Structure 1
């Protein structure tokens, strides 16, 4: 009898998991305007769900919880969701969140809200390749054309994993694909994602995967979350791929391209709720620990597109959350 009950329970568990996922996808399409909203559905995440309202995605490491991005819910319910989550996980760290999240956590719970980096957003209706700083993009487009690169959109191709593995070996973090702050290349839920490839003699030599950004059940933008290319292109095939995709999106009437996080790219001004200790530590990491991650290279590459820069933050309980920051770097596989 006991074995029979266990067997009967299994479909119920699967149905509940499917229902939870369906609810999160519905919330994503209604309220997924954050650049990392789509990435909240990456594998190995946990969820704090409030059915009918929204969810907070988080990951655990070393017994600590790291919430990723803003709560996926209507702005009027953001405070409620944060209150419930903090009540359940009073020591949680919030990563890559917006200023409204910072203000709520600081004003109600005394959290620090320290700049974690910046995001760059491009209004596609006014986008063009004109301007001195975009010369490197124009040069990359010409180089790709002269070398016979054909850029086009196609479906998901699992064979590009070989390009990814070779590309990772050229990076600062050679041992593993970064996760959490960048969603994995291979994911289960891919609805709305777009794939642009660069081909040489019919073989893919580079690609960018774009994730959708939503508001009110409408697609309003994309964010390039996964990009890989051969190291043989001096000016970077990435620029040519980006420019091609942006022209396609612009022609479709897409409003915005969010270039995503530039970690540790911080403005000079220090806001009252920020931890000066953590700011100083992150500045040292950016200036002296380039072997961990190519912070300055990524900042330079994204700055060529001349987007609108917006701050992003991490929220933490202590002025110097050394253990939490170490745990987060381990979670992301940067160290």
Structure 2
């Protein structure tokens, strides 16, 4: 049986989105909607969809968000530790050799829970080349070796870049735990200095799965909660708890994301899991 899946909110002027959604639902024959925001969820609920929480996206609103105060001490410590040990931060101006980036990515892949593939649909394949308006920040070790990188996609409003969202991260398997924390802080600090208004850290799947506030599937809500708490899934499939804990170090605003469907059938969910390559 064929299924259609739509990712995210419509890329359109907000007042026009409900009409686009209704037309797409009619044309695609009751598609599923994945990782959508509250406004899209509300439109779909009005069309008879069930809407379940899927997780949260972490938003850092700049310049109000900074890394001062006691709760951010561990983040500041990671940056200080790296600098003290001779590491260096920089934004890549497309000067790093692409084969060096490829080697780092291959090294990172070798340490993944599932080494044969990367998650799909929710993210596109990693590329050593940066796309238009993307930004890349890097961490070099004391001997000049590439230790970690963070790629960001632009967020637009009115034709202007107003923010960035984390798209890819890579780090050496032997990198210190401080590497990713310190590099994230460095990047966010640069964005704040440049007048960027928001940085998002991306989806934390299955975090804080409670009632959605809409008509929903109790079965899938319970299943998502059990999956997040499952030691087997976190150890053998995807470290859901570890990813959530990392993003919570930065004390951003956690915005719920949703999945919506007419009927949350096993076949439909199986299709989604296969699409994202989690099975």
Report the TM-score, using the length of structure 2 for normalisation.
0.91
> Relative to 1, partners in 2 of residues 1:268 and 1:64: Cα closer, same or farther, differing over 3 Å?
closer
Matched residue, 1:315:
260
| Other-structure match for 2:132 | 191
Paired with 2:207 and 2:123, the residues of 1 have a C-alpha distance of 17
Matches of 1:240 and 1:76, distance apart in 2 = 39
Partner of 1:334: 278
C-alpha deviation, 1:270, in angstroms? 4.3
Change (3 A) 1:271 1:243: same
What root-mean-square deviation, in Å, do the aligned CA atoms of Structure 1 and Structure 2 show?
Answer: 1.8
Which residue number in structure 2 is paired with residue 266 of structure 1?
A: 208
Distance (whole Å) between structure 1 residues aligned to residue 81 and residue 144 of structure 2: 18
Is this contact kept in 2: 1:143–1:235, CA < 8 A?
Answer: no
**Number of the residue aligned with 1:115:** 53
1:267 shift after superposition = 4.8
Q: CA deviation at 1:188?
A: 7.9
Q: What does residue 206 of structure 1 align with?
A: 148
1:156-212 deviations in whole A, cap 9, x for unaligned?
453212211221222223211222212221288811100111112222111000110
Query: Which position in structure 2 is the counterpart of 1:136?
Result: 74
Q: Does 1:165 align with 2:106?
A: yes
Task: Say whether the 8 Å CA contact 2:121–2:276 is kept in structure 1.
Answer: yes
Gaps of 5+ in 1: 1-61
Partner of 2:182: 240
**Contact in 1 for aligned 2:45/2:214 (Cα 8 Å):** no
Q: Which residue of 1 aligns with 2:83?
A: 145
Shift of 1:280: 0.5
Report the 3-state secondary structure (helix = DSSP H, G, I; strand = E; otherwise coil) of the residue aligned with 2:4. Answer: strand
SS in 2 for 1:135: helix
Aligned in 2, Cα 1:322/1:136: closer, same or farther, shift over 3 Å?
farther
Equivalent residue pairs, number: 272
Greater RCO, CA 8 A, separation 6+: 2
CA distance in 2, matches of 1:203, 1:152: 13
* 2:162 equivalent in structure 1: 220
TM-score norm. by structure 1 comes to 0.77
Which shows bigger deviation, 90-99 or 226-235?
226-235
What is residue 277 of structure 1 aligned with on the other side?
219
Give the 3-state SS of the residue equivalent to 2:63 in structure 1.
helix
1:96-107 aligned at under 5 Å gives the runs: 96-107=35-46
- What stretches of structure 2 of length at least 5 have no aligned partner? none
Q: Report which of the two structures shows the higher radius of gyration computed on alpha carbons.
A: 1
Find the aligned partners of 1:119 and 1:283 in 2 and give their Cα distance: 17
